[in-house]
Amino acid sequence: MKSAHEDFKRNVYLENVPLDEALSRVVIDFSGRPGLSYQLKFSRAWIGEFDVDLVREFFQGFVNHAQVTLHIDNLRGDNAHHQSETVFKAFGRALRMAVEPDPRAAGTIPSTKGSL
């Protein structure tokens, strides 16, 4: 991911995903600077045999190696499975949209500073 930053046509994307009572928002910025804002308090510590602490570990590893800024907010949710699913779906959608070429921005650099 790091070596491909220059190929992205847009570098920031936001996605909201609902699932029953849960709602999560993910914002990703291919800034070249690692940063994680993680606002997710699971309703329980385990989903089956899965330790929910590993969710944060996954995203921290992604941020560090991809050199992105990532904001994850679970806005509501009572079911840990639904909380986790909405976060990962929102992340996947935001990531796809952030790296997808935007024909409206052909030849432009998606930065207020003029470079990535």
The DSSP string of the chain is -GGGGGG-S--EEEEEEEETTEEEEEEEE--SS-EEEEE---SSSEETTEETHHHHHHHHHHHHHHT-EEEEEEEE-S-HHHHHHHHHHHHHHHHHHHHS--GGGTT--S-TTS--
What's the total number of domains in the chain? Answer: 1
Structural domain includes residue 108: no
Please state whether the predicted TM-score (pTM) of the whole model is above 0.85: no
pLDDT in tens, 66-101: 999 999 999 999 999 999 999 999 999 999 888 877
Q: What is the CATH number of the domain that holds 34?
A: 3.30.230.40
- The residue range of the domain holding 44 is 2-100
pLDDT in tens, 32-65: 899 999 999 999 999 999 999 999 999 999 999 9
Structural domain includes residue 23: yes
